[in-house]
Chain A
Amino acid sequence: MTRRVAVTGIGVIAAPGASRAAFWESLRAGRSAIRPMTLVPEGSLRFPNAAEVADFRASAYMDEKEADLLDRFAQFALIAAREAVVESGFVVTTELGARMAVVTGTSTGGQTSEDREFYSLYAKGVTRIHPLTIPRTMANAGASCIARQYGIGGPCYTISTACASATHAIGQAYWMVRNGVVDSAIAGGSEAPFSMGFLKAWEAMRIVAPDTCRPFSQDRKGLILGEGAAMLLLEPMESARARGAKIWGEIAGLGMSSDAHHLTQPLADGAARAMRAALLDAGVEPGAIDYINAHGTGTQANDATEAQAIREVFGAHAGKVAVSSTKSMHGHALGAAGALEAAATLMALDQGVIPPTANFNEADPACALDVVPNTPRVARIEWALSNSFAFGGLNAVLVFRRS
């Protein structure tokens, strides 16, 4: 069985906006949500800026007892899933729930809870750790919580492939719906990286920018960390149309690869292999692609390597594809990044607006592509790619089609 797969619900909570609509409003205007960090004390890190969900209070979204059970990353997952379900108009009955999947991505799971409890243990001399630390910390907490909330009884699991987690997760869910393993799915990613321990670990890698995220710009100085979640509701195109659902777009292909090369240095070959595999899976020629939502972290290595990979795959067409990195606005949300970017790509297809690469100053010959600098572009897009390339050399690429 092979079915076309529609996205009928999108839920987002991230720095540019705490709902799908608010998120898109910022992105389509090219507004960056990178600001001075508030979640750790000022001056404690070499980099002062991040893309935080401003003034987040879980109790605004769920009762306090439910919020207590969940780390911030799982709270984000649940909030985004709820919006995706509500917006889709899909009613999860017992019967439909049994044939539904949940696949989430996260890089570090509930590490803010772990950081807080371990700090008490090591630094404050407290001898007891909160009994919910294990269930709060587990990487599948978001997926489990979504399944419990809606009575989703089909396959439910979490994929952790660093910065490609959400793209792998959405891709897995897409394949399951396409192949008839399930009849619908909630898929996406969530991340909450802002704890002192984790931020210090990023600081030590010296790849976080001291200013802001400037993907593909000559003067780029690194990535900016972000947080949040995005979840998509997937169902077969036929049933989505039959029930008159709003269809944001179609997921048409997934490609995956491994660099099998270096722990942190990306390899153009690996990225190119994932893009080619995605195009092949979708049965579309490179020349048909109008837009690529790039991995575009703003590091020297990623952006030059990704540009090289795009030129390898698209050849002469590379110059005609619009390539933008929305990380310049929502930051690098690690295991949620691919989900935020899938949401951005779907809305770009639906609305006919390409969100720009914000904070761009000057062209880099190593990234000689049409990177849609700073200004949103009105364009009818038929086909788009969304790239995710992770530390550890793991690559995942999704193909989207306008509906």
Chain B
Amino acid sequence: MSDQLTARVIEVIAKTQHLPAESITIDKTFAELKIDSLDGMNILFAVESEFDVSIHAEHAAAIKSVREMVEGIEKLVAAKEAAHQG
């Protein structure tokens, strides 16, 4: 898991939720951060824009923590880069 990508995801969550970035760590669940389903949609939108990726609805619904978000984005970014190289 890239530290840089993790930091970018955390920054997007912090900005969207108006939370200090220090309060968000990789091990926090969305429930712990008081992120509800509406907040979740907001974060997905912001993350999609930040990384220029598209998160499928069924994957999106399964994301319940910062770690799952980072892992999901990592895969999408890798797939995008592979597609470019191909």
A residues near B, CB below 8 A? 63-65, 68-69, 128, 130-132, 135
User: Of A63, A69, A130, which contacts B45 at CB under 8 A?
Assistant: A130
Bound Cα distance A63, B18 (Å): 9
Bound Cα distance A132, B42 (Å): 7
B76 to chain A, nearest CB (A): 14
B29 in the interface (beta carbon within 8 A): no
Bound Cα distance A281, B69 (Å): 61
Bound Cα distance A130, B48 (Å): 11
B18-40 contacts to A (CB < 8 Å): 18, 38
Contact-size category for B: under 10
Residues on the A chain within 8 Å of B41, using CB: 131-132
B17 touches A131 (CB 8 A): no
B18 touches A131 (CB 8 A): no
Residues on the B chain within 8 Å of A69, using CB: 38
Number of A-B contacts (CB under 8 A): 20
A128 touches B48 (CB 8 A): yes
Could you pull out 7 A-B pairs where Cβ atoms are within 8 angstroms? A65-B17, A65-B18, A68-B18, A131-B44, A131-B45, A132-B38, A132-B42
B33-61 contacts to A (CB < 8 Å): 38, 41-42, 44-45, 48-49
Bound Cα distance A122, B48 (Å): 19
User: Of B17, B18, B38, B49, which contacts A128 at CB under 8 A?
Assistant: B49
Bound Cα distance A65, B41 (Å): 14
* 16 further A-B pairs in the complex, CB-CB below 8 A; given A68-B42, A69-B38, A131-B41: A63-B18, A64-B18, A65-B17, A65-B18, A68-B18, A128-B45, A128-B48, A128-B49, A130-B42, A130-B45, A131-B42, A131-B44, A131-B45, A132-B41, A132-B42, A135-B38
Q: Which of A69, A128, A130, A131 has the most CB of B within 10 A?
A: A131
Residues on the A chain within 8 Å of B49, using CB: 128
The chain A residue with its CB closest to the CB of B17 is A65
Contact with A along B45-84 (1 / 0, CB 8 A): 1001100000000000000000000000000000000000
Residues on the B chain within 8 Å of A132, using CB: 38, 41-42
